[in-house]
Structure 1
Amino acid sequence: MNLRAFLSSFLAILLVGALAACAEQAADPPLKGASIGGPLNLVNQDGQRVSDASFAGKYRLLYFGFANCPDVCPVDLAVLGAGLRQFETDDPSRAERVQPIFITVDPERDTPAVLKRYVANFHPRLIGLTGSEHEIQQVVTAYGGSALPDEPNEAGGYNVNHTRFILLMGPDNAPIAIVPHDQGADGVAQALDQWVR
């Protein structure tokens, strides 16, 4: 094979690789067109009312749970926080466009003060949101979740059974993907790297 033929073959291989990478990046998000999401009008951990406009231009990394959760919520939020910190280290400018949000499914106990203490354990930018039972139920349903409190025990304590997922929404509040928290911080960071532009 002469030099010209070798270079032509080599360039063709590079071109195919570049086109494949572009096609992979241009792939539609898994949740494109899904009817997930809706308006947010809740109260943050500082007692301030927030809406969609509060997160304009931001990717929203959403998790539904509750501060008294004995097991899965703290584990998932720790993974979310670690994955976001990893993405912040790898690409600070894109990571700045991601707003992590924890929405309680237990508004009776999760007051703004409770949420303020709770979310501080997982990431400095994690926002906790609460509201009335009606407001929370509307948001949970709109975002494809469910939450059902158990019967209280003799001491008045109860658990809340809820769906468990980390949802990435775009700056236009359109659904993008379920972030794989079961793959640890690396899975969260990789999903953010794939979908945050």
Structure 2
Amino acid sequence: MKRNVSDLLAPAAAVLLVALVVAAAAGAWPPFVAVESGSMEPTVERGDLVVVTSAERFPWGGLTGHAEPDAPTRLGGTGDVVVFDPPDDGQHPILHRLAFRVSAGEDWTDRADPALLDGDCDDIESCPAPHDGYITFGDANGEYDQSAGIATVVREEWVTAKALVSVPNLGWFRVGVDAAIARIGLLPTAVGVGGAAAVAGGFGAVLIGWAGRGRGGRRK
């Protein structure tokens, strides 16, 4: 019985171990972000999984905007792509690209790309900048987040991680889990996912056992 329980729990433990190792290397938890919208298409699409790191993690330390000289290439464009979570806005964290840094009180539209603005500073709630921070945008969107009213100027402390690479379609599981949590709650979802992992582990152990016995039989 103990061995059977161990076989069932092994896959879940292995997944947790891998996640912990990746988190330790990345310096962020969770070390993966599932993309829930198409605002960063075509490079990053809904259902993709993005590996993220701490904004200060070596060798990717610091934050660099799209408009800055020698900006790094991240996810198909220049400038860091970050996860930011403005407090008390009632939204999920947002994965968008940094455009440029602004200072409190600045009319940042003077430095902006006119194609990504809807009006001048008088027409935009986040202009002049209410505080120091960053202007941001989604690659597939036609406006800066601050011009479209998606977010105010993003304070640096609201940036929880920045993106390194994306893996197509691997984020659907996370999207599904988040949807299940929103619909039925954390505990039922955890029980369901744990049960599915245990069943999958059991089938895997059985298949591995059959394969081992088959090889043993052929050696005889």
TM-score greater than 0.5 by the shorter chain: no
TM-score when normalising by structure 2: 0.27
Q: State the structure with more CA Rg.
A: 2
Pick 1 or 2: higher relative contact order, CA cutoff 8 A, min separation 6. Answer: 1
TM-score by length of 1: 0.29
